[in-house]
Structure 1
Amino acid sequence: MSDAPLPTTLDAWLARLEAAHPVGIDLGLDRVAEVARRMGLLSRPLAGRVITVAGTNGKGSTVALLEALARAHGLATAAYTSPHLVRYNERLRLNGVEADDATLMAGFAAVERARRAGDPVSLTYFEVGTLGALWAMAQTPPDLAILEVGLGGRLDAVNVIDPDVAVVTTVAQDHAAFLGTDLEQIGREKAGILRAGRPAVLGSRQLPASVRRVAGELGASLFALGEAFGRQGEGAGWSWTGCDVGEGALSLEALPDPGLPLDNAATALQALALTGVTLEVDACRRALAEVRLPGRLQWLGQWCLDVGHNPHAAAYVADRLAARPCRGRTLALLAMLGDKDADGVIATLAPTIDAWVTASLPGERARSAEDLAGRLEGQGAAVLHRAASPAAAAAWLAARLMPEDRVLVCGSFFTVGEVLEWLAREREAAQTDTDHSGSEEAR
């Protein structure tokens, strides 16, 4: 970044950060650790306890579940996630509330001062955002900080902070340009968040052997789904068994369906118990009943929005759609980035989709609607329309939906975020029309 005056708005800050580093993703901890050291982030505890969550899928829902469960038990919380759907502020939540612009800008300014204090250090957009969020948390240390890894684990900026409990949710292929396609190597990268002698919670029954090997090499205490903890049942009324920090047996019965993967809910319960929190069944039930996470099988009328962008995530979505049949058509609005496995996602979703609308995404990682349509037609799928953007695709679909139809919006955070904004504008316009009509009738 230049020595120009600091921006005075969040949008200006974000524009500056996007242009500050020669590449968007630059894995490694040396630069970010140096700035963190200058900021004092490595010399004092960030929070009473820290849980770091890595994985290919399920990170966001596990973080949301952890946050809801901790707050239901009366803990002060801070949660850092990425990417965001609509507003950058979504990335940092303090006691369940999105950080305001002033808090985020103060964090960015603190990073900038430290970055220049000595030999200047170049940082990526994500690295500045991570350090700024950590600084904001540290101003009033919470009882529990929950940190979501952005990419990989070992070399992700979040990993400058030592967690008290580390969670690996799932390991599958994604971000192949940075992590490769070897699941054993990907697992080793994800396991880079584990720490010697501290609990490691494994939230999938199908993790590569490399994750356990790393835990063994470090001497981390291993708590695996289906072994140290588990769940029984599906939907409302499921139960959980696990253990506390002393490995004493725990159990919770008659739990509500959180509307998120139950394996992730079970994982969150186990991770929280390992921080020393005494799980109370009423608090857990309340948290699971109230937790919400936009963009994860989020239903808004006829629209179902899910950010899944790899075959593993698509399989979960397909299963949930199949378990919820509708009388009309199931249509899909698909827009994906060019570095994602579009063919795998299409093949996984195809049995549950009657017809498709494709849309283009902007930017250097873009994949065109035409490219997606060609791949769909190559697999024998019916493509109804090709749109220039997700919002344009949503508008086209909305004009042609029958009351019994439903639409799955998927393929990318960008896709879901844009359609969420479009739906919000449509609802606002409809409400304005209703209010105006009511005013006219009252005259």
Structure 2
Amino acid sequence: MPNDLAAWLAYLERLHPVGIDMGLERVREVAMRLGLLESSLAPKVITVAGTNGKGSTLAIIAAVASAHGQRVGAYTSPHLVRYNERITLHGEPASDDVLVAGFEAIEHARLKAPEVSLTYFEAGTLCALWCFANAELDLVLLEVGLGGRLDAVNIVDADIGVVTTIALDHANFLGTDLEQIGREKAGILRPRHPAVLGSETLPDSVQETAKALNAPLFALGQAFRHVPQGEGGWEWHGSREDGQAVSWTELPVPGLPLDNAATALQTLTLAGLSLDAATTRDALASVTLPGRMQWLGQWCLDVGHNPHAAAYVASRLPSPQGRLWCLVGMLDDKDADTVIAHLMPRVTDWVCVSLAGSRGRSATSLKAVIEHQSGCVRYCGDTPEEGAKWLGRELTTRDIVLATGSFFTVGALLNITLPQAPHEATA
């Protein structure tokens, strides 16, 4: 067997003939062999699905719950810099030793006759569940990787199902019919267990699925909402499961979408957590999520890689005194045309970078898309790091840079020291 985490991850990448293989049979079989489905992973388990907003919603739930003394385990994907980010225990990434122990247990179980083949994501999901089962937790949070109904995390019956947004992404696997995508993502919901819907523009199929399951429905704009309050604050109005109204006022605006913050508070209320006003405010004020509108000097890093995310980022960017640069690197299976179209009205100068791997898109391919939309491409680099180095020679103190398009783009940039403006702008 592999003897360290890096070796295990390399081994798991070669284990299955394809990277994505939708279905629950294989992962459920190994989970049963490990005894992971015999009892609940924690008193409350919450699964979060959606096209965008999953990570933000989960991060806020985790931050507020942890601030109230809850022992929280969370599973997210993908990671930005280290694989350990995907599995957190009590707010900290799982150690290499814990992950290796989990992968060893999974390997022993899957090799029992008949041998079961697992994808990289399925093995990672099982490792997360193994980690949670071997920790004493009050709350487990599971983020869906792709879709919902056939995603590996859906072998777990969650106490509360959350659907954040529905938009086009992963069309090769989910198609382009939003109603069907909604049904797939609503596949995480369970009969008679609360369903929290975190967008006012979800396809009808999501509510239809919840109603067919007789799942109590808590939808943004209906059962709960957020409204502005004063300068820079907001208030939240929601519902307990018995229908009793509950409100919080004078809340600080987190650096994450308010729809997601409101959804998180509604979910925690349904989970039975007794929230303290001061503790909740402190948690909202301090919550962060790397790679989501993350500012490092003049640089704003955001992993947005689909049109819905690009539109949100474009609406939130400040207007610089100088140029607004965009360093963009994307995977080839993403809708680059529409992503760039949403950013085009805000961006003055573009830097295109290539991403490696079979799914990587070349900088020259992105350049062609941008120039077709009359954008100004100033440089093409072989890697995000190379693009950043070139930009460091061009930036002025009046400029800002948006780095976006992929987890791979942002992850690479988080591994380096980003250059800041070396000189003042000239007339």
TM-score, normalised with respect to structure 2:
0.97
Partner of 1:309: 305
Matched, 1:353 2:355: no
1:283 to 2:279 alignment: yes
**Residue 149 of structure 1 is aligned with which of 139, 144, 148?**
144
Out of 346, 368, 379, which is 1:385 matched to?
A: 379
Share of identical aligned residues, percent? 59
Q: Which ranges in structure 1 are unaligned for 5 or more consecutive residues?
A: 1-5, 428-443
Deviation for aligned residue 1:273: 0.6
Q: Which residue number corresponds to residue 21 of structure 2?
A: 26
In structure 1, C-alpha distance between the alignment counterparts of 2:120 and 2:222, rounded to whole Å: 39
Return 5+ residue gaps in structure 2 as ranges: 421-427
CA-to-partner distance for each residue in 1:13-71, whole Å, 9 max, x for gaps? Answer: 00000000000000000110011111111101101100000000000111100100101
The structural deviation recorded for 1:217 is: 1.0
- 2:153 match: secondary structure: helix
Corresponding residue pairs, total: 420
How far residue 314 of structure 1 moved from its aligned partner, in angstroms, is 0.5
2:263 to 241, 264, 267: 267
Quote the residue 1:177 is aligned against: 172
- Tell me which residue corresponds to 1:112: 107
Task: Say whether the 8 Å CA contact 1:48–1:141 is kept in structure 2.
Answer: no
In the TM superposition, what are the counterparts of 1:4-403 in structure 2 within 5 Å? 6-233=1-228, 236-321=232-317, 324-403=318-397
| RMSD, aligned CA | 1.3
Q: Distance in 1 between matches of 2:417 and 2:122?
A: 32
Q: Which amino acid aligns with 2:300?
A: C
Residue identity in the other structure for 1:202: L
Q: Deviations over 1:276-313 (max 9, x none)?
A: 11122112101101111000000000000000001100
Tell me whether 1:420 sits opposite 2:414 in the alignment. Answer: yes
Deviations 1:346-381 (A, max 9, x none): 000111100100000011111110000001000000
Which range moved further: 294-303 or 270-279?
A: 270-279
1:405 aligns with 2:395: no
* Range 87-96 or range 109-118, more displaced: 109-118
Secondary structure of the equivalent of 2:103? helix
Q: Which runs of 4+ in 1 moved over 3 A?
A: none
Q: Distance in 1 between matches of 2:210 and 2:298?
A: 44
| Deviation larger for 226-235 or 414-423 | 226-235
State TM-score, norm by structure 1. Answer: 0.93
The alpha-carbon deviation at position 191 of structure 1 amounts to 0.2
Cα deviation for residue 141 of structure 1 reads: 3.2
Compute the displacement of 1:118 (Å): 2.4
Question: Is residue 202–residue 225 contact of structure 1 (8 Å, CA) maintained in 2?
Answer: yes
Letter in 2 for 1:332: C
**Is the deviation greater in 190-199 or in 117-126?**
117-126
| Alpha-carbon separation, structure 1, partners of 2:277 and 2:336 | 42
Higher helix share: 1
Aligned partners of 1:359 and 1:393 also within 8 Å: yes
Q: Distance in 2 between matches of 1:38 and 1:141?
A: 21
Instruction: Measure, in 1, the Cα distance between the counterparts of 2:46 and 2:243.
Output: 18
Letter in 2 for 1:420: L
